[in-house]
Amino acid sequence: MTLAKYNPKKLVIYSRDEMKQWEMAKKFGDDERVRFFIGDVRDRERLYRALDGVDYVVHAAATKIVPTAEYNPFECVKTNVMGAMNLIDACIDKGIKRCVALSTDKASSPVNLYGATKLCSDKLFIAGNSYAGGKNTRFAIVRYGNVMGSRGSVIPFFIDQAKTGKLTITDDRMTRFMITLEQGVELVWHAFNDMEGGEIYVKKIPSMKLVDIARAVSETAKQEIMGIRPGEKLHEQMIGAEDALYTYEYKEHFKILPQIHEWNKDLRRIKDGKAVSEVFSYSSDNNTEWMSIDELKKWIEINGDKVGRT
């Protein structure tokens, strides 16, 4: 994403990661529209200051490493749940027009604490539209897994491991969704333009077997099966069967409508969507679109210098 493409009057970067802000400042520091705030979503007063004069908010803050959350549950809840509550209050009180919160596949039928806190966060942002009362602030959610090549994704992990000649695979049946940074940004932008409040947007993206991701990184490295880690799923799930009654399909995405206040029957939210089957689910193993090894190889060749930075 470039500033020129979206052309904001002001862009506020709010995070507690001073090193990431330092790197961004070197890239955008000469642009007077960009401001950097060191702060935490746990800090309500700092949030209120950072949101002064802001119209649109993208909420991406989270404690998201599954083992870290399992061994530090209080800290995970403070950031993912209490932080969400702080942001919702701040957005309403500061008159924010639209807020889009980033969710995760792990919030669908969660089996670990990270997923459970993100499901709670999703519910909070949905309810925030009712909590806002007569105010015009609206909240929506976009849901996807790890972005390809990001610091939390498996691709940079495999690239580092390949130097040792061995790649560790948790289970050879495992599948994962594949989404690029550009696709993630486009989904957020679509949510801003489309939302009435309370929707969960899920991008249609390809799947890939973990063993094929490993082969795309290195055809010569030996693959070693390690076993599934605590809290890990064989397959990523974006939409569970329990949400099928409230889910609509569109050309490039799905949309889960909120159950509260019968908003799932609101034609303004449904628009031109088509209701999915009552037994529908969207997971990385039942996907109709798959990324090939050659396609991922090509992506790595083009984006290799960016892998692991985001």
Tell me the CA distances in angstroms from 230 to 20, 144, 156, 191, 234, one per residue in order.
Answer: 29, 21, 22, 33, 11
pLDDT at residue 308 in the model: 55
- Residue 203 is among the residues annotated as catalytic for this protein: no
Q: Which residue is catalytic, options 106, 203, 209, 255?
A: 106
Asked if 156 and 265 count as a contact pair (C-beta separation under 8 A), the reply is no
Question: What tens digit of pLDDT does each residue of 264-289 get?
Answer: 999 999 999 999 999 999 999 999 99
What angle (nearest 5°) sits at the alpha carbon of residue 37, between those of residues 202 and 189?
25
pLDDT at residue 200 in the model: 98
Q: Which tokens hold the place of 199?
A: 């929707």
pLDDT at residue 3 in the model: 61
pLDDT at residue 178 in the model: 95
Residues contacting residue 125 through CB under 8 Å, at least 6 positions apart: 59, 84, 88, 99, 101, 139, 140, 141, 198
How many residues comprise the chain?
A: 310
Taking 70 as the pLDDT cut, the residues of the chain under it are 1-4, 308-310
For residues 285 and 225, what is the distance between their CA atoms, to the nearest angstrom? 19
